[in-house]
């Protein structure tokens, strides 16, 4: 074929192509072997006959995708029918304009999708949270008296009322909004032999909350009657404060005081110093080097 590379052959090949012949038909007509590079060069700028073009596999998918987009379908909905990548869809559908109603519908779908994704994240987070808590709970099947004693001392020194240089008070008073902490404190007092008739209960709550419902709630937690409670402490709201503790789940704090508890308070202070000293964590007291 290389030896026959003459203008007349090229012109004939081009003419045969224009007449609608395929490459193999041109080779047969001119006596060439198929696959030669010369024929490709001759026919480079000659349009390929339509009947020789292979139909592209994605043409039908493309038309289907465009039809669905004109109906206002989202990319997700279209991909459920036409299994192509989002990038391909973007190229196929970029020139299609949606109506205002169709755009509004897609916006709603996006909002629902984001809400669904957020809910799935919350569900997974809660599942991991519960698994971790349950695994840790299984590590503590029982609490020995010595463990309860140390836990009670630490809880009181963290959450209980302590004497200050500017406010001397040696009365045992514990305040918390967590029912489990209140019950821990009561169990600790039982361990120490403090009689229940020495306990005084009082609710501390914001003025916008349901004070009577809170008293009933805490009475149920500690196993007392609402009538046994002292008058509640009502906290005034600051207008600019954006409080999060609102709603039916908010019950304020419970204040538990122990009558005749000066000696007990001094014992607690000593116990805490003993624990801190044994751990090497005792901080210098005010005025002491």
What residues form DSSP beta bridges with 84?
none
Same domain, 15 and 92: no
pLDDT the model gives residue 251: 93
Pair 258, 156 in one domain? yes
Q: Is the pLDDT of residue 24 over 90?
A: no
Q: In this structure, is residue 288 part of a structural domain?
A: no
12/29 same-domain check: yes
**Same structural domain, 134 and 222:** no
> Is there a domain that residue 287 lies in?
no
Same domain, residue pair 6 and 71: no
Q: Which DSSP category does 21 fall into?
A: -
Q: Binning pLDDT at 50, 70 and 90, where does residue 74 land?
A: very high
Write down the pLDDT at residue 137.
Answer: 82
Do residues 204 and 253 share a domain? yes
Q: Is residue 289 part of a domain?
A: no
Q: Are residues 269 and 189 in the same domain?
A: yes
Q: Is the pLDDT of residue 35 over 70?
A: no
Residue 285 lies in a domain: no
Check whether residue 192 and residue 231 sit in a common domain.
yes
Give domain status of residue 210, yes or no: yes
Tell whether 165 and 178 lie within a shared domain.
Answer: yes
Distance CA 266, CA 99 (A): 77
Average confidence score pLDDT of the chain = 86
E-strand stretches of 238-289: 253-258
Question: Are residue 93 and residue 106 in the same domain, yes or no?
Answer: no
What tokens were used for 277?
Answer: 């000293």
- Tell me which of 190 and 5 has the higher pLDDT: 190
10 domain residue, yes or no: yes
* Pair 65, 40 in one domain: no
Residue 163 lies in a domain: yes
Q: What is the mean pLDDT of residues 59-81?
A: 90
- 260 and 137 in a single domain? The answer is no
Residue 249 pLDDT > 50: yes
Supply the pLDDT for residue 164: 82
Q: What is the residue whose two structure tokens read 């090229």?
A: 10
Q: Does residue 4 carry a pLDDT above 90?
A: no
* Residue with the larger pLDDT of the pair 268 and 86: 268
More confident residue, 55 or 171: 171
Judged against a pLDDT cut of 70, whether residue 260 lies above it is answered with: yes
Does residue 284 lie in a domain region?
no
In order, the DSSP letters of 55-75 are PPTTHHHHHHHHHHHHTT--H
Question: Which pLDDT value is given to residue 286?
Answer: 45
Number of H helices, E strands in the chain: 11, 4
How many structural domains does the chain have? 4
d(CA 231, CA 203): 8
Can you give the pTM of this predicted structure? 0.57
Give the domain range for residue 24: 2-52
């Amino acid at each position: 074929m290389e030896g026959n590379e003459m203008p007349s052959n090229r012109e004939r090949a081009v003419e045969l192509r224009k007449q609608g012949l395929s490459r193999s038909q041109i080779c047969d007509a001119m006596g060439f072997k198929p696959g030669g590079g010369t024929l490709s060069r001759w026919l480079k700028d000659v349009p390929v006959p339509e009947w020789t073009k292979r139909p592209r596999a994605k043409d039908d998918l493309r038309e289907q995708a465009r039809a669905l987009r004109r109906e206002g379908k989202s990319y997700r909905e279209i991909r459920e029918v036409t299994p192509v990548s989002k990038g391909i869809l973007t190229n196929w559908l970029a020139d299609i304009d949606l109506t205002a109603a169709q755009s509004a519908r897609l916006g709603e779908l996006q909002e629902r999708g984001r809400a669904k994704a957020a809910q799935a994240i919350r569900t997974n987070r809660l599942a991991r949270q519960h698994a971790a808590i349950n695994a840790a709970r299984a590590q503590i099947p029982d609490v020995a008296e010595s463990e309860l004693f140390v836990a009670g001392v630490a809880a009181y020194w963290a959450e209980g009322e302590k004497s200050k240089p500017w406010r001397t008070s040696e009365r045992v008073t514990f305040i918390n909004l967590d029912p489990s902490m209140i019950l821990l404190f009561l169990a600790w007092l039982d361990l120490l032999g403090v009689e229940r008739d020495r306990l005084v209960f009082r609710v501390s709550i914001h003025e916008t909350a349901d004070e009577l419902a809170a008293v009933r709630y805490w009475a149920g937690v500690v196993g007392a009657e609402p009538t046994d409670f002292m008058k509640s402490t009502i906290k005034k709201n600051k207008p600019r404060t954006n409080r999060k503790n609102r709603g039916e789940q908010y019950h304020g704090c419970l204040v538990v005081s122990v009558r005749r508890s000066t000696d007990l308070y001094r014992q607690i202070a000593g116990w805490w110093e003993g624990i801190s000293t044994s751990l090497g964590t005792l901080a210098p007291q005010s005025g002491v080097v």
